[in-house]
Structures are given as structure tokens and as C-alpha cells.
Amino acid sequence: MTIKLRLFLKVSVVSRVNTVLGPVPAEELKIVAVHEHIGYGMPGSELDTRWWKTPEERYEETIPKLRQFHEYGGGTFVDVTGICNGRDVDYYKSLSAKTGSMPRTRSPSSARRDSRWAASCSGTPTTE
């Protein structure tokens, strides 16, 4: 018995990609780390330095790691950390300035979902 499959692929070529630094040409992305948690911490973790590192300690440990990623050809990391778990665009911009990596966060649809989650984890009532 012979089975024939037809695959239809739609390929989109993107000329620019939005990052936290603004739009950049796609060819400047280099190697992309697609699922990273750069500043991850559970809500309130910055208050518990017994089990979690302080934000300053995490920052200082992250810089050499991102520099090494950049030296090996890495150009972009996609941070998928949720808004209640440490996502911080200014933090990513600062890391980029020190390491040469281009940070990017999740898509707008997940950002909207995070906004609802942020409101619910902060005690603010949500309509959804």
C-alpha cells in the first residue's frame, strides 16, 4: 500500500524583527536562543535571599554568560519569562548594552495574557 502526502508550506520572510531595543534587520539576529529565562524569579523571590539570589547577584552572573553566548555567535535571546516572574525590559536593555546580545520578549498575545495574570497576582480585580 502506498500513501501519498502533500505538504503545503507557507513561508514568510521577515525583513525586520521587533526587539526590546526596537526593530532590527533579521540578518543581524545571528544565532537565536529561543526559550530563555534571563531574570527569572518567583513573585517575592527578591525578598528571600536564603534560597534565591538577589537581583544584583543574578545580574552580575548573567553578564559573563551572555558575553560568552555572544562570543560563540549568539546574537539574540528570546526571554519567555512571565510578567510576574521577573520580566523586565529595562533589565534586558542594560544586559544588551553590556554584552552585545539583542533581547526579545514573547509575542503580544502572551503579553496580554501576562497583563491579566499580573493584575490577578497583584490583587487587582480583572474582568476576564
Sorted by where each begins, the domain ranges of the chain are 30-121
Degrees (nearest 5) of the Cα angle 44, 63, 40? 25
Q: Is 111 helix (H, G, I), strand (E, B) or coil?
A: helix
Query: Distance from first CA to last CA of the chain, Å, rounded?
Result: 51
Report whether pLDDT(9) > 70: no
Helices then strands, counting H and E runs in the chain, come out as: 3, 5
Distance CA 126, CA 97 (A): 36
For residue range 82-115, list pLDDT tens digits in order.
777 777 888 888 888 888 887 776 644 444 444 4
What is the strand order of the sheet 74-79 is part of?
Answer: 31-36, 74-79, 102-105
pTM for this entry: 0.66
pLDDT bucket at 24, cuts 50 / 70 / 90: confident
